[in-house]
Structure 1
Amino acid sequence: MKPLYLEFLLHWGAVSASETFDYVIAGAGTCGLVLANRLSENPNVRVAVVEVGNDERHNPNVTDITRFTYALSTPLAWQYPSVPQPWAGNKSVVFFGGKAIGGTSTINGMTYIRGDKAEFDAWEALGNEGWNWNSLYPYFKKVERFTHPTAAQVASGASYDAKAHGDSGPLRTGFPFQLINGTLYETIRTSWRNLGLPINPDVNSGDVRGFSVWPQTVDRDAGVRADAARAFLHPVEDRPNLSIIQGAVKKITWSDSVSTCGNSIADGVEYLTTKGETATYGLETKIELPGVGENLQDQPLLSLLYPGKLNASGLTPYATFTNVHDLFGRDSVSIAASTKVSLSQWARTVSDANNGAISPQILERLFAIQHDLIFTRNITIAETLTVASGAQLVSVFWLLLPFSRGSVHIKPSRAIEEPDIDPKFFLIDFDLDLELRTGRLAQQFWDTEPVKALVAPGEPALANNASEAEWAAYIRKTCLST
């Protein structure tokens, strides 16, 4: 294997030094640190990770389990505004990313939910032989070190299936000690059950539907977030063959020779070391791949707020996952038929909106599999969080599988921290209908006993009898990025 050379660039572009590594990884996020951990297990292999963020292991906005969202307004978070969204009131939404060793795992909501079995099986249906739930399941458990809940946590709603979890992996998961106690859990669980949503004893078993208290990426006994750095880097950071280098990757350099298969060979990486400098990119195309940066899916997030008759203190990781039958009821069959005949038109719409970067034929194939997942395999397609904080009651909800597709690109002559992000929210109007149905269900929840008794008098953002036009306007005006 030919080693890669790292060239250290100062802001004026002069090469000041170079080092040789067998592998160079751009970014110390979750994927980058897992790779670095595994590759550096071989002491004869030199591995470098280039990351612009700092070591934040002692920053309370990272470590404190109760401070989720605090970091979003600090230098810990990249804040990327999208381009204006014409189908969402022409507004821009902000995308957040973690600017730290550990990447976005240092600022996210710590949710640990794998997904529905059928979604992983769809990877194989798309041509990825061997990539399915059964083949990945042992690795899900291998990476995990699950902490069984205490009796007090079980009384607060924590539940699990021991067979679905690993107990010796590097990533600690479990339930935080700060789970809210008292009767709130039972009140919320009963109200969802009264709407036909059962309790799910373990959302990581491959069946996500129902109401649950979800596990999180936390080291419960230490009382801290289990981000990617804590899981995959800190235990091995003393390896002499592993280096973390602060900088922003500028480009990959390419050899003049090609492999025996005719492929290009990378022989180096250039990166910037000067803090605070921005890099503009006049990019030269090496290989024409118009699909790069395309097929972006994002899930528009909405909230409904209500005044409460309580003073809640503690964490409420309460999630309810719903499928198409929960949202559309008896109309599901007719909607399945009407949307199926629309797939071809949707594919053309998305392809045209993205300048033909992905062909309508490819998109239609993707949409057909997605349609089958939703209407035949009954996977969950929407998530609703039920939150109580102080005297505030909140539903936060979003659709999980939008048909709308957007893009993310680096623009020539623009700084690397100014990408063009365009999720194209609600380009396909069925996404808006799904969001609306999910919102109506959340609204119905707060009007269902026994939780209804906790809602104080007041004027909600939307009346229970709000029209579809009023709902659509509210969604377009208030939606955010997940």
Structure 2
Amino acid sequence: MEEVKADYVIVGAGSSGCVIANRLSADPSVRVVLIEAGGPDRNPWIHVPVGYFKTMHNPSVDWCFKTEPDPGLNGRSLEWPRGKVLGGSSSLNGLLYVRGQPEDYDRWRQMGLEGWGWDEVLPLFKRSEDQERGADDYHGTGGPLSVSNMRLVRPICDAWIDAAQTVGYRFNSDYNGATQEGVGFFQFTARNGRRCSAAVAFLKPVRNRANLRIVTHAHVQRVRIEDGRASGVEFVGADGTAHFAAADGEVILSAGAIGSPQILMLSGVGEADHLQANGIAPVCDRPDVGRNLQDHLQARLVYKCTGPTLNDEVRSLWGRGRIAMEYALYRTGPMTMAASLATGFLKTDPRLATPDIQFHVQPWSADSPGEGVHPFSAFTMSVCQLRPESRGEIRLRSPNSQDAPIIRPNYLATQTDRDTVVAGIKIARKIAGAAPLAEKIASEYRPGPDVEDDDGLLEWARNTATTIYHPTGTCAMGTGDHAVLDARLRVRGVHGLRVADCSIMPDIVSGNTNAPAIMIGEKASDMIAADRRSACRETG
């Protein structure tokens, strides 16, 4: 077995892992190995903002996970794309830059997780950011991650924002600013019309550092734990041979909310009975590994329009040619489009302290990215519940690391979740019926005018709603002995092992998860470096 040695071995070159690799290797005395199951981000569609139409569901860069049949969705299984490439899901996602609400992080601190309050994480968001709008109390400039305003304007999205204001929702020019509530336009992670993934932002500028080794096409089998300490990572290389990355300092799992709990369980860290049932000897009985799975479920309303939308532009050969030419010459036009243009963070009940639903408004419609647009003029209003109560789980399918784990999201399992999705659909319809949007709508295509009462709307959601690609919470921080991680992201019961990705969230944030994942990488790197300095002082 070939062996490589480092101070820190990072598993997963996604949003968090790229940040950690960058920050830790900034110290030339620290040796860092970054292990990624996928390959380099050479697919040209990765770097075109609208390229998610080509990369999602592409097994060369996507894990192509699929959930188990879900009772809350009337037994449907959903495809769960996750990035298998440098940059991870930030190389496939819709580029939307959303931090969540300050209250999300203050709630974590109120759980006893010191260091995770809003005033403590805001500087980390700002440190990463190179905000096109400039620096202020809420934004930073000069960081590796480019955050830009939309380069595409479409009248149907402008009309949606105007209609939302007509029915009483206020305009908000910066949902990442003083308050999240209101309607406006998305910010997105792009630079000059090109995707700014975590790999582009954090890895590409430092990939030639002598103390940083990036290993791609490396499938991790397990973390080797000896005498209660993580000593390194066993993985299979592209040539099929076994390798071992020895960690003199720590192993950091940044494999995401699906990969990180799976690797922990394969390594003997998890619920003892479940591990034994899969032929794995328990090293640390930690029942909550893989539990607490949360995701944002989206109900996608589609409206046929009286005038042309992006559907019409991309259905003709001439239209596609014009779009390609505009992008090639000016880096503008539909090929610079993020997953959505307009957004709204709204309350289903005015008595709520903060918004509980989010809209993603798109000047096109399709059954799913990658399947092509509908053959008619239309736009989409996607609405999701920001803080679902339902909790699912990740379980091993087998002791073979090559077998995808069992994913049980457990959507719509609580009355609050069911009531919120119905209320969100009703708000979408209210906005659709207001000027000036109503004049641009020919008819409601989905769910359709025949679906009227609450039971019918809920049933439609069960039959059609889908993931918005935000799995979190499966290796959650906590203060009790039951928690997988402590507030410094250390795995309880195992020395020298941390997790740093969206799986660490005790509660999902109120919005898209890529920006928080990058912040988690910043936070983890600070804590690791601080612990290293402390250890050095103790040893003289």
Task: Provide the TM-score with structure 1 as the length reference.
Answer: 0.77
Code of the residue aligned with 2:189 in structure 1: it is T
| CA shift digits 1:38-90 (9 cap, x unpaired) | 1111111111011111111x423211112333211212211111111112201
Do the aligned partners of 1:21 and 1:47 also contact (CA within 8 Å) in 2?
A: yes
Verify: 1:304 aligned to 2:301, yes or no: yes
Task: State the alpha-carbon separation in 2 of the partners of residues 215 and 136 from structure 1.
Answer: 19
Displacement of 1:428 after TM fit? Answer: 0.9
Matched, 1:273 2:237: yes
Looking at structure 2, the residues matched to 277 and 89 of structure 1 have their Cα atoms a distance apart, in angstroms, of: 43
**Deviation, structure 1 residue 184:** 4.1
Kept in 2, the 8 Å contact 1:29–1:104? The answer is yes
Measure how far apart 1:162 and its partner are. 4.1
Q: Which amino acid aligns with 1:173?
A: V
Structure 1 match to 2:372: none
Instruction: Provide the residue aligned with 2:12 in structure 1.
Output: 27
Residues in 1 aligned to 2:400 and 2:452: alpha-carbon distance in whole angstroms: 44
Match of 1:338 in 2: none
Cα contact 2:389–2:417 (8 A) shared by 1? yes
2:144 aligned partner, one-letter code: P
Deviates more, 1:246-255 or 1:467-476: 246-255
The aligned length equals 395
Look up the equivalent residue of 2:224 and give its one-letter code.
Answer: T
Query: Among residues 356, 362, 378, which one is paired with 1:387 in the alignment?
Result: 362
**Over aligned residues, Cα RMSD in angstroms?**
2.3
1:175 paired residue number: 149
Cα 1:385–1:268 shift into 2, 3 Å: closer
| Range moving further from structure 2, 433-442 or 62-71 | 62-71
The letter for the 2-side match of 1:251 is R
> 2:95 matched to 1:71?
no
Of 449, 452, 455, 1:466 maps to 452
Residues of 1 paired with 2:53 and 2:200: CA distance?
Answer: 19
What does 1:350-365 correspond to in 2, within 5 Å?
none
Distance 1:184 1:457 in 2: 14
Q: Which amino acid aligns with 2:344?
A: T
Q: Write the distance in 2 (CA, Å) between the matches of 1:205 and 1:276.
A: 48
**Counterparts of 2:212 and 2:48 in 1: how far apart (Å)?**
28
Secondary structure of the residue aligned to 2:100 is coil
Aligned to 2:131: 146
Distance of aligned partners of 1:463 and 1:231 in 2 relative to their CA distance in 1, 3 Å threshold: same
Aligned to 1:60: 44
Would you say the 8 A contact 1:320–1:383 is kept in 2? yes
1:242 corresponds to: 212
CA distance in 2, matches of 1:445, 1:277: 58
Amino acid at match of 2:164: W
| Cα distance in structure 2, aligned partners of 1:418 and 1:283 | 16
Q: Secondary structure at the match of 1:124?
A: helix
Q: Name the CA distance, whole Å, in 2 between partners of 1:286 and 1:321.
A: 44
Is the contact between residue 150 and residue 185 of structure 2 (CA under 8 Å) also seen in structure 1? Answer: no
Residue 449 of structure 1 is aligned with which of 418, 435, 438?
435
Superposed displacement of residue 464, structure 1: 7.3
For 1:72, the aligned partner's letter is M
Instruction: Confirm or deny that 1:317 pairs with 2:344.
Output: no
3-state SS of 1:437 partner: helix
Assess if the C-alpha contact under 8 Å between 2:135 and 2:141 holds in 1: no
Work out the CA distance in 1 between the residues paired with 2:240 and 2:72. 35
Provide the identity percentage. Answer: 27
Q: Using the TM superposition, give the Cα deviation of residue 277 of structure 1 relative to its aligned residue in structure 2, in angstroms.
A: 10
User: Displacement, 1:192?
Assistant: 0.4
Structure 1 residues 311 and 22, CA, compared in 2 at 3 Å: closer, same or farther? Answer: same
Contact 2:156 2:379 in 1 (8 A): no
Deviation at 1:96, TM superposition (A): 1.1
Whether the 8 Å contact between 1:250 and 1:271 is mirrored in structure 2 is yes
Structure-2 residue corresponding to 1:103: 88
- Partner residue in 1 for 2:72: 87
Quick one: which of 163, 166, 177 aligns to 1:194? 166
The one of 134, 153, 166 equivalent to 2:140 is: 166
Change (3 A) 1:275 1:434: farther
Gaps of at least 5 residues in structure 2 are 243-262, 267-277, 311-333, 365-375, 469-540
Alpha-carbon distance, 1:224 to partner:
0.7
Could you state the TM-score of these two structures normalised by the residue count of structure 2? Answer: 0.69
Counterparts in 2 of 1:422 and 1:275: CA distance versus 1, 3 Å: farther
Confirm or deny that 1:476 pairs with 2:476. Answer: no
**For residues 93 and 149 of structure 2, what CA distance do their matches in structure 1 show?**
16
Question: How far apart, CA to CA, are the structure 1 residues paired with 2:69 and 2:440?
Answer: 38
User: Structure 1 stretches of 5 or more lacking a match?
Assistant: 1-14, 149-159, 257-263, 333-374
Question: Which residue number in structure 2 is paired with residue 211 of structure 1?
Answer: 183
Distance in 2 (alpha carbons) for counterparts of 1:388 and 1:65: 15
Please say if 1:328 is aligned against 2:349. yes
